């Protein structure tokens, strides 16, 4: 169930939203090979109305399945928004549009989560990356080995 609050109830008392959302309910379709969200998103939020704005405070947490951009190893990375604070306008250009006195906070929470995703996830800060081949092994590139003359050597012999 999306993060929906009733504005009439909010006018009288704050509302607490606590539970879990699936990535589909939060409409988190990452289409990313490096970062995946396969577990429910836990949320514990309190929503209050202050004049023409909704104040949302609390915590949002999910476990990300990532692939290290250096060594290509799979690892889990927690994404925690704590403390999480959101101010949603009820009037103006970017105002929340209620549907029969119900306000859906899902798009705002989803956008904040997407902004917090790591751009280049690393399994550890000092990840050395992929292992280099041993020194005694030779790679063949264009028919020559690394120990032999480079591919540019033939070009250096040209007299132009």
Domain region containing 66: 4-116
16-57: per-residue pLDDT in tens? 999 999 998 888 877 788 999 999 999 999 999 988 899 999
Q: Is residue 82 part of a domain?
A: yes
Q: Is residue 62 part of a domain?
A: yes
Q: Is residue 99 part of a domain?
A: yes
Domain count, the chain: 1
Give the three-state DSSP class for 156.
Answer: helix
Q: What is the pTM of this model?
A: 0.75
Q: Is residue 148 part of a domain?
A: no
The closest of 129, 32, 118 to 73, measured between CA atoms, is 129
The closest of 119, 129, 132 to 79, measured between CA atoms, is 119
59-114: per-residue pLDDT in tens? 999 999 999 999 999 999 999 999 999 999 988 888 887 788 888 999 999 999 99
Distance CA 53, CA 131 (A): 53
Instruction: Tell me the pairing of strands 102-104 and 4-6.
Output: antiparallel
Distance CA 67, CA 58 (A): 29
């Amino acid at each position: 169930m999306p993060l929906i609050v009733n504005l009439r109830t909010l006018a009288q008392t704050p509302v607490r939203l606590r539970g879990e959302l699936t990535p589909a309910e939060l409409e988190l379709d990452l289409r990313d090979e490096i970062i995946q969200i396969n577990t429910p998103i836990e949320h514990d939020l309190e929503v209050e109305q202050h004049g023409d704005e909704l104040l949302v405070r609390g915590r949002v947490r999910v476990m990300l399945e990532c692939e290290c951009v250096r060594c290509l190893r799979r690892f889990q990375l927690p994404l925690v928004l704590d403390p999480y604070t959101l101010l949603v306008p009820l009037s103006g250009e970017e105002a929340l549009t209620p549907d029969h006195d119900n306000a859906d906070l899902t798009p705002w929470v989803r956008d904040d989560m997407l902004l917090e995703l790591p751009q280049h996830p690393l399994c550890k800060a000092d990840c050395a990356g992929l292992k280099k081949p041993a020194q005694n092994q030779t790679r063949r590139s264009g028919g020559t080995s690394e120990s032999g003359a480079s591919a540019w050597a033939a070009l250096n012999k040209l007299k132009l």
